[in-house]
Amino acid sequence: MQDSAPDPDSAPEPRQTPDYPEWRTAMKARAEEAGFFEPLGPDHHAHFLETDGDALLVTFESHPAISMLSPDDRPLGEAVAEAHGWSHLAVIARGDTWFREGRVYGFFDQLNDDGFFDEFETILFYGAGPCGYAACAFSVSAPGARVLALQPQATLDPRITEWDDRFVGMRRRSFTDRYGFAPDMLDAAQAAWIVYDPREPLDAMHAALFARRNVTRFRLPSMGNALQADLLGLDIHDPLMAAAMDGTLDTETFARLARRRRDYVPYLRRLLSRLEADERLDLVRLLCRNVTGRMRAPRFRRRLKALEAADATGATADTASDGAPDSDDPSDNAEPRRATGL
């Protein structure tokens, strides 16, 4: 019996999300009830939601990433903080700005002058991509804080990272003044964790710049260039942040969480593609047998059949592969995610 394709008429309509000014107004109303709201020019703002606890989560996020990844249009950090009873300071950018803005610098200066961070026993700074850069850079304002950053850039100063051609337009921004070189800003942190895919060359080169005594770098091979989205898909975003907050994030804990990749189809597809590209056909067979033995995976089943047929006839594996996507496997038709800030 053939599997039926999903009825396009029954598919949910795309979620409508407000533009940044409208969304910022809504965040202002919520924050003023339980904390504070601070506009930081037209492209940034900060809002704070306070609890009775002694832990503070500081997240750097972008409005496009929130619109894409948050089911309720709240900052991603807010749901995590709420679940654990932490206070939450969200610093939001309209887009990918790396938070290189004088009013953002002034905001953190003012927090220091007011003794804001002194009110908390434990502080975690968090961000991904450009927001990961900001989490590292601005963590210096709270000495002794912990930092969790997903595939952060170290700097976009072309004198240091001229090899990174992804963000050429940002080279007009200064990365040499205050809060500039993110790895140096981590010297005051109690601990920092950098998560990246070593098979993404530019991300790996940035990660290498974060080599510090208090920095642990965790590798997630073949996870691609949108780690935040994938950690949410793996349902390890929250536990990873919780372990970072309480200081228990070590190699064993990270490996246990990362093991969930073995059931995550987007990762398995990337791994298959890499093994195919490397022409490691024995490992392709092992992977396909493992995956088809545990889950319904048409792409892997089809590839395994092609390899077995090639073995039987003496044909090459390349000519035996049809490579066509299966309409009954949504992951085979997934669009690639954007790298920046997700």
Could you tell me which of 165, 270, 269 has the C-alpha nearest to residue 224? 270
Q: Reply yes or no on whether the pLDDT at 21 is more than 60.
A: yes
C-beta of residue 131 within 8 angstroms of C-beta of residue 63: no
Sheet strand arrangement including 122-128? 35-39, 44-49, 87-93, 55-62, 122-128, 146-150, 191-196, 215-219
Q: Reply yes or no on whether the pLDDT at 277 is more than 70.
A: yes
Tens-digit pLDDT profile for residues 172-185: 899 999 999 999 99
Q: Of 318 and 89, which is predicted with more confidence?
A: 89
Per-domain residue ranges for the chain? 18-261, 264-333
The phi and psi torsions of 49 (rounded to 5 degrees) equal -120, 120
- The strand pair at 55-62 and 191-196 is best described as unpaired
pLDDT level of residue 15 (50, 70, 90 thresholds):
low
93: Cα separation from own chain's centroid: 16
The owner of tokens 């492209």 is 43
pLDDT level of residue 147 (50, 70, 90 thresholds):
very high
Kind and range of the H or E run holding 194: strand 191-196
CA distance 134 to 175: 11
For residue 147, what are the β-bridge partners?
125, 192
Q: What's the whole-model pTM score?
A: 0.85
Q: Reply yes or no on whether the pLDDT at 16 is more than 70.
A: no
pLDDT value, residue 342: 62
Tens-digit pLDDT profile for residues 34-93: 899 999 999 999 999 999 999 999 999 999 999 999 999 999 999 999 999 999 999 999
- Measured from the Cβ of residue 121, the count of other Cβ atoms closer than 10 Å reads 9
Q: What is the mean pLDDT of residues 302-317?
A: 77
Tens-digit pLDDT profile for residues 193-213: 999 999 999 999 999 999 999
Q: Token digits for 240?
A: 């990873």
Q: Token digits for 155?
A: 């700097």
CA distance 238 to 81: 9
Q: How many CA atoms lie less than 13 Å away from 22 in the CB half-sphere?
A: 6
Q: What is the domain class of 18-261 according to CATH? A: alpha beta
